[in-house]
């Protein structure tokens, strides 16, 4: 599922009649699986991959379009071939929020993860969410 550090982290190979799709539920499952992998191994690379998997919701996906909408506070159900599924069902929003919570819990893990040589990739949307001083008007 993880083809590179930026895209194609999730996916059902077929979702008729739309063809290939990527769904929020699968992305959230990936986020939580990567956290479980870190918990089992203490390998910091799983936390970096987990952060990248949450970034899928924020636009680091095959269409480069965020699924989470900061204005409605809802999350699209997924990506279809060439477009975002505009539905914002509760399970998609809950999936995003659980994934985000899992990453935020990981921010308290010891410094070896946050050391400069092992720093997490930049994610302006997630950084804005996790900065205490950022209000709704300050999110880029």
User: Which phi and psi angles does 21 have, rounded to 5°?
Assistant: -140, 160
| Cα–Cα distance, 140 to 136 (Å, whole number) | 9
With 0.85 as the threshold, say if the pTM is over it: no
Question: CB within 8 A of 89, min separation 6: which ones?
Answer: 77
pLDDT per residue as tens digits for the range 40-97:
999 999 999 999 999 999 999 888 999 999 999 999 999 887 888 888 999 999 999 9
User: For position 127, what pLDDT does the model report?
Assistant: 56
Question: Is the four-CA dihedral 44, 45, 46, 47 of positive or negative sign?
Answer: positive
Instruction: Judge whether residue 35 has pLDDT over 90.
Output: yes
The whole-angstrom separation of Cα 66 and Cα 121 is 17
pLDDT value for 1: 41
């Amino acid at each position: 599922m993880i083809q590179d550090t930026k895209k194609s982290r999730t996916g059902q190979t077929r979702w008729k009649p739309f063809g290939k799709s990527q769904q929020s539920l699968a992305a959230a499952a990936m986020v939580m699986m990567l956290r479980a992998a870190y918990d089992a191994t203490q390998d910091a690379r799983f936390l970096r991959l987990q952060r990248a998997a949450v970034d899928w919701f924020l636009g680091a996906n095959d269409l480069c379009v965020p699924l989470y909408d900061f204005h409605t506070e809802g999350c699209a159900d997924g990506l279809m071939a060439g477009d975002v599924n505009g539905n914002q069902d509760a399970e998609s929003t809950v999936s995003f929020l659980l994934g985000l919570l899992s990453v935020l819990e990981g921010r308290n893990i010891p410094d070896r993860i946050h050391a400069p040589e092992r720093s997490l990739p930049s994610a302006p949307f997630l950084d804005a969410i996790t900065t205490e001083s950022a209000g709704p008007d300050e999110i880029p």
